[in-house]
Structures are given as structure tokens and as C-alpha cells.
Amino acid sequence: MTQPPFLLLAAVLATVTWTAAAAESREAQDEGDEITQELAALREEFEAIKARYEARLSALETKLQAMQKERSLDVEEELERLEERHDRDREELGGEIEKNRRAFAPLAFTPYITMFGNLMGRRDNNMVISPEGDPIDNRFVFRAGEFELRAAVDPFADAFLSIPLEAESPGGPLEADIEEGYVLIKRLPFLGSPWGLKLKPGKYRPEIGKNNLIHFHDLMWTSRPLPVATFLGTEGLGESAEAGFQVTGVNADFFLPSPSLETTLRMQLGFGTTGNLAVTEANQGDDLVFYGRGSWYQRISNSQAFELGGSYLGGKNDPSGILRTALAVVDFTYTWKPGRSGLRRSFVGGGEFFYASLEQSDGPSRTPLGYYLFAQYQLGRNLYLGGRYDFSQELENERLDTQVWAGYLTYYTSEFLRFRLGGEHRLSDLPEKDGLNTLFFELNFVFGVHPTEPYWVNR
């Protein structure tokens, strides 16, 4: 019997499908076997690489340990060598220090020595007579040569000695004296230095006002201000010579608590004897004088500062020590030193006011008054221009007064050499002083160890 065609076709398709499925199954199995083999190969390769790196890491660790051990030994040896070298250098340095100490020990307490010289020339329109009765107009005078010695006494104190050789008359010899000689005790082993306390026993120029403290060669003018000469006293050449006074006694200088870092409050107290103070001259130093000065210093800015001071002195003005003298002085100073202009510009101005009460045995107390005002401007690094006005009543008769108008031009070649030209015009109730015009020439020179510049110098 014959089969239908569709049955034959179905059988053919089934056979083909079975054959294809069997082939795909065999291919998938073969591919899985290949992947399994490849994974096994990769695992073996990974294990081999791991083994090699572990071996290499172990070798590096062994080498590192060996290097660390070797380095540790080297560091220890280097430290030993450095310690030996340090000990050797310390011994050598100690030897050098001891050698230098022995060499310089004799110089450690050797005083610093400075010498000042002052030459003055003057031209006057009238005759000028000194307090000693000598004519001093129209001439050159070597006014003074001054030796200053400074030294450390020990860690607690310094010493200062000033020995001027001054002309007491125009043609006479220079006479020596001790202007100042004192010990500055900065602290004591059992006391320390409370409030910055400093003690100054000896002979010294006290700060009655500010000008009296300054030595002759450090003035910004050729002559002392007239009130300083009138109230504090002069020497042989009168107002054109040294003025001011010294005390032989003890001075205490200390600071007071300040409200800010820009403010400084300072106090000085002292007592002693003096024989050349004009307001107590008649007493001739038989009785003690007591004085004090308080000052307030205020820094306004980096370039400006102001200082205000007040002084008082009490003593006797007769040989018997009965009649009392009181002297009050108020001083002020303003300074301007701009930072941008460096050392080429500055300004300083100020003044002092004097008032005295002098008891009299035959009447009421005399109460003379005096003051001076000054200003100075720095024109250049070495050039200063200044002016001053003085007013002073006479101690013996306060109804008589004298005024001075003065101007000065000062030139420095260096801090060791200074030239100055100045002029003064006087108006006075005293006929011998009224209308006096004077032209000054001044030369100051310094050699030796140079001390600190005065406050009005900007260098």
C-alpha cells in the first residue's frame, strides 16, 4: 500500500531535527570541556604566579631585615662618633672661652672713655660783661673740654663720671671739676627691681624740668634758655656758659602702673645738698633740698609722641636755714619722626615754665616767673633749623624782666662733629641787656666711645 506524501515529509523533518539537536548537544559539550580546561590552566598559572611572588616577597623581606640590621649598626656607630666629636668640640670651646676670658678679663671693667670739645665765637653790638666782671663780647672762647667715663661696676650697678674743664673767664685757664659722679644701682640681690626701681647715689644733675639733665655739649642751642640760667644758676661766662645745677645726694627713679602699653608713667624722688642752685644760693648748701618729678609719656602713633612733666623742689635761701624756697617747673615735649621719611625729617617742640616762691626776712615772698618755648625742624639728614623764645623775671625783683628771641642752624658732618650758627635778640628792663644782638658760631667735636644721642637728634 502506498504511504501518503505528508507522512514521508514529516519523517524526514523529524530525522533532520533530531540530527541537528544531537549535533548541537555534542558541540555544547565540547565547548564546556574547553572552558573547563582553560579555567584549570588559568588556575594553575595563577598558582604559579602567586608562588613566584610569595617567594620574591619573602626574599625582599629577608633582604630588608638584613639592611635594617646593618643600618642600625651604622646609626649606632655614627651616634657614637658624633658624641665623641661633641665632647671633643666642647672641650676645645671651653678652652677657647677660658683663654679669651683671661685675655679680656682686665678689659671687662675698663671704663668707656669719651671726650667732648666745645668752641664758641660771638659777635655783639654792645659790650657784654660776665657775672665775674670780665668782658666776653666779640671773641672766641674754648668753653669746655669734658671727659666722660662709663663702666659696669658689677652685674647690679653701673658707674658714670663726668669731668669738665671749663673756662671761668675768657682768657683764663680751663678749670677742672666733677660735674657728675654717681653709681646707678639697677637692682639689688635681696630686693630685685620693683617697678623698675633704680637708685642713683652720688653727684648728678637732677631732672628739675628736662633741660637741666642735658649736658652742655648735647644742647640744641649755643646758650641755655634764659629761665634755666636765671632760676637754676650759671657759671663764670654767664648765660653763654654752662648753666643748671647738681645735687649731691640720692635719687630714686621708678615706674608707676600705666593704663596702656602706649603710656609710660615715671616718678623720681630725691634729696641732697647743692651749692650752685640760684634759688637757694644764699644757703650755700648748708641745708638739704628735696625734690620730685613725675612724667607722663604718651605714644600717639608710630611717628608721634608727647611727654608732660611736673617738678617740685624745696629748700632754704638764707645762711641760717630759716627762709624757705619752693620751685615748681612744668615741662612738655612733642616729637614727630615719620617712618617714611627715615632719618631725613623730624620735628620737636616744647617748653618749660618756672615759678619760684622765695621767702624774705623783710617783706613778702618774691614770686618770679619764667618760661621758654622752642621748636626745631629737620631739613635733611644732617641739617636742623630751630627757634626759641625766652621770658624771665629777675629773682631779686620780679618787676624786671628780659625776653630773648633766638634762631639756630645746626649741621652735622657725622655724630662726631657738629657746626652751628645762631643769633639772639634781647629786650630787657635792664639797660645793659636791652637791645643786645649776638651772632654765635659753635663747634662741637667728640672722640672716643660715642654715647647715646640727645632726644632732639634724629639719627
> By 3-state DSSP, what share of the chain in percent is helix, strand and coil, each rounded to 5?
25, 45, 30
Residue 455 in any domain: the answer is no
Instruction: Assign 111 a pLDDT band (cuts: 50, 70, 90).
Output: confident
- 246 or 282: which carries more pLDDT confidence? 246
CB 147 within 8 A of CB 113: yes
Number of domains in the chain: 2
∠ CA 193-194-196, rounded to 5°:
65
Query: Same structural domain for residues 337 and 268?
Result: yes
Cell representation of residue 92: 676645645
pTM of the full structure: 0.75
**C-alpha–C-alpha distance, residues 325 and 356, integer Å:** 7
Query: Same structural domain for residues 87 and 230?
Result: no
Query: Same structural domain for residues 318 and 412?
Result: yes
Residues 113-131 have pLDDT tens digits of 999 999 999 999 988 877 7
pLDDT at 227: 95
Residue 458 in any domain: the answer is no
* Of 85, 108, 131, the domain-final residue: 108
Q: 72-98: buried (b, 16+ CB within 10 Å) or exposed (e) per residue?
A: eeeeeeeeeeeeeeeeeeeeeeeeeee
State the residue for C-alpha cell 574547553: 34
Query: Same structural domain for residues 1 and 141?
Result: no
As to burial, measured by CB atoms within 10 angstroms (0-12 exposed, 13-18 middle, 19+ buried), residue 361 is exposed
Query: Same structural domain for residues 137 and 78?
Result: no
Q: How many CB atoms lie within 10 A of CB 45?
A: 10
**C-alpha–C-alpha distance, residues 105 and 249, integer Å:** 32
Residue 113 in any domain: the answer is no
What share of the chain in percent tops pLDDT 90? 46
pLDDT at 108: 61
Residue 133 pLDDT > 80, yes or no? Answer: no
Return the CATH number at 382.
Answer: 2.40.160.10
Residues 247-297 have pLDDT tens digits of 999 999 999 999 999 999 999 999 999 877 888 887 777 889 999 999 999
The domain containing residue 84 runs over which residues? 1-108
pLDDT at 1: 46
pLDDT at 83: 85
pLDDT at 320: 85
What share of the chain in percent tops pLDDT 70? 85
Over residues 172-183, mean pLDDT:
85
Query: Same structural domain for residues 88 and 159?
Result: no
pLDDT at 17: 63
Query: Same structural domain for residues 171 and 144?
Result: yes
Instruction: Assign 56 a pLDDT band (cuts: 50, 70, 90).
Output: confident
Query: Same structural domain for residues 77 and 194?
Result: no
Instruction: Write the single-letter amino acid at 29.
Output: Q
Residue 457 in any domain: the answer is no
Residue 278 in any domain: the answer is yes
Query: Same structural domain for residues 94 and 134?
Result: no
Average pLDDT for the chain: 85
As to burial, measured by CB atoms within 10 angstroms (0-12 exposed, 13-18 middle, 19+ buried), residue 427 is middle
Cβ-proximal residues to 112 (8 Å cutoff; 6+ apart), any chain: 149, 150, 151, 448, 449
393 φ/ψ angles, rounded to the nearest 5 degrees: -90, 155
Residue 105 pLDDT > 70, yes or no? Answer: no
Over residues 198-224, mean pLDDT:
91
Q: How many CB atoms lie within 10 A of CB 61?
A: 10
Residue 454 in any domain: the answer is no
Query: Same structural domain for residues 354 and 312?
Result: yes
pLDDT at 136: 82
Residues 312-361 have pLDDT tens digits of 999 998 888 899 999 999 999 999 998 776 688 999 999 999 999 999 98
pLDDT at 54: 83
Query: Same structural domain for residues 70 and 197?
Result: no
pLDDT at 81: 83
pLDDT at 6: 60
Q: Are strands 238-243 and 234-235 parallel, antiparallel or unpaired?
A: antiparallel
Strand partners, 238: 235
pLDDT at 66: 75
Query: Same structural domain for residues 190 and 316?
Result: yes
pLDDT at 103: 67
Residue 272 in any domain: the answer is yes
Residue 459 in any domain: the answer is no
Residue 2 pLDDT > 60, yes or no? Answer: no
* Of 108, 140, 164, the domain-final residue: 108
pLDDT at 22: 58
In which element (H, E) is residue 152 found?
A: strand 139-154
* Of 108, 133, 154, the domain-final residue: 108
